[in-house]
Structure 1
Amino acid sequence: MDSLYYTTLLGLFATYCGYRYLYACHIRSKLDHIPTVGSSGIFSSYSTAWRFFKDGHTVIEEGCKKYGSAFKIPTLDGWQVILNGPKMLEDMKKAPENELSVLKAFVDIIKADYTLSPESMINPYHIEVVRTPLTRNIGARFADVRDEIVAAIDDNFPSEYDWVEMSVIKPIQNVVVRASNRLLVDLPLCRDKDYCELNIQFTIDVITDAIKIGLFPRFMHPVVGPLISKGKVNVKRAMKHLTPLIQERLELLSEHGSEWEDKPNDYITWLIETSEQLGADWQRGSIKDFAVRVLGVNFAAIHTTSTAVTHALYHLAAHPEIIPKLREEVEEVTAREGWTKVAMVQLKIMDSFIKETQRVSGGGATIMLRIATKDFTFSDGTFIPAGTSVTLASHVVHQSERPLTPQGSLT
């Protein structure tokens, strides 16, 4: 009996391995027309995947110099097509969500079903909140956000005029999380230390957990994902802070409707109202769901902004000759327009400086990750089958004096 059991189990395992091998061959064959950096073998490709995991910049540079506009790289999570050149950039920008999906790529890269919440991605109406009411109200809430930035800087940076040695990134994160949440949840919660620390750590937890989950084959993700991810713990911690605020807001909206005097003009209000307008019936009134969407927006906002500001400060320290020009522009514009959203748009030198620091120091090896939801053909004829992960080479291009193509020719 035991012999039959183990024989059956071994047979099932061998059958499954055979299926996975044939499936991997099928997926690879759909991309045979796109050249590969490193090995393209089912098993040997893992050596290149590991090299890409450890030093992606070098692997992508190799592909850009050797193949030009499109090539593929094996990753620990599957094949990824890397695009290169301004034409490919324009094609990516013009492609609609139902052809090259940002959301699917985001869900896949952060393993959102385990690190965040699968429900929030089924009906991602919080994206609409960010695009419309949040963006529209930046001007109206600008004075509050500036007030929080000033207060946060006073709390996190020493006021002495002498030199003070300190790590910059953590204080900058503290400023950014408070400024962001002044718009998201307002006072007093935006100044709560535990709440702020949660949102700073949440992004680190998500990325770290997603990387760990990605080290396992996809068929194992439903098993290892819940074991590895700190998502449930973080959501529970967020609910401790957000439940009283959300509950109060739900009661006020239920009592007064969409308009009343002194109605809070923040992300919590916009989130609840948008969920009602879009008819999110199965999510309506779910404090846990709202809390997840607050964490999600913080995930997108804090570390990207903090890193950009930190790089800018380092470049200013290295090139102090730039400081007088920036200060002169800020003083001239704010004297004319005040500290307003209109004034920020007119800071042309500041805008150029920050963009240049991002070109030199910002971001990873690639940008604009997408997943093809249907077969897609780029303007140069490059064909991408449905289900393929595609992204654009960025760092190596930003560091090159000319666009990287085979033999160094211009694109």
Structure 2
Amino acid sequence: MRAMVYRGPYKVRVEEKDVPPIEHPNDAIVKVSLAAICGSDLHLYHGLMPDTRVGMTFGHEFVGTVHEVGSSVRNLKPGDRVMVPFNIYCGSCFFCARGLYSNCHNVNPNATAVGGIYGYSHTSGGYDGGQAEYVRVPFADVGPAPIPDWMAEEDAVLLTDALATGYFGAQLGDIVEGDVVVVFGAGPVGLYAAKSAWLMGAGRVIVIDHLEYRLAKAREFAHAETYNFVEYDDIVVHLKKITGHLGADVAIDAVGAEADGNLLQHVTAAKLKLQGGSPIALNWAIDGVRKGGTISVMGAYGPIFSAVKFGDAMNKGLTLRMNQAPVKRQWPRLFEHVRNGYLKPSDIVTHRVPLEHIAEAYHMFSAKLDGCIKPLIVPSAG
């Protein structure tokens, strides 16, 4: 099969790899029909995620058709169209029993915090991802679900991470009717978080970013009030001014899923604003939310070498909530929102790129070229 392969920082290419085999009776092999590049893939692309090994295939957002199933699989059969959450989880451990699928205790021997994630370095279990023609799906009776007949594949692929994560971010904000919600970052997760905030009763939604095309999408897609932080001496001061000098009720940090800059810049935080590896956005959230407010952290942060204002958060009485999204837990409600027309996930898709051109897609997405917000990858499996 053809698959995206990592060859070092900023170096990805398409190569021939063996079609993955069934390794366990609970496995399925899925023929990928649509995948995506996620902002958090840029951590890997830029070489900022520990233990990202040469030869790995990225991609934790994908949908496809079941090609083969192991002998123990009961809920799927060859030919089924499926959507696969980015979490790999067993479904039966202490954490899975409590719906904390992203914290599964049985799928990642390399960490005690995060469970397994497709295509996300050996710190997340070392599983190959879906930016390929075929992918092995462990615990096939637990994670994947049939794509509803009424749902388009371009919508389904975005429910495997980006939409579920943005919605979860708004959930963690404990939004109550009338709340002022500020979202830092207008990438896909930030856009979905802003849109979801309205569904949870927000009275005002503010999005902060530095790229005008993304802010324009936040106004169009999420109907948000937007501010470009480069136009202000201090965006936190401005945020206070426009919220009665109190601050927002809820702040959502949807920034860590973007990664940029070299290691020196990450260590010094000299260049970084709204970039993963630096806590600037998180500190803006701490400073910009009102006393007693709530901060939801959605950003998939890599190593952070500079200080988080934890003392300020404590003294302000803030609630900080965060986790990797337990994707499948979000699906029942999200399915209803999509079916009823409240959400159209594919509205943020800007590019559809053949798998063979994935190196160009990564460069375009990383460098923010051509107004790229969300690129989908289309394999050419026969």
Please say which structure displays the higher CA radius of gyration: 1
TM-score band w.r.t. shorter chain: under 0.3
Structure scoring higher RCO (CA < 8 A, sep ≥ 6) equals 1
> What is the TM-score when the length of structure 1 is the normalising length?
0.25
> What is the TM-score when the length of structure 2 is the normalising length?
0.26
- Larger relative helix fraction: 1
- Larger relative strand fraction: 2
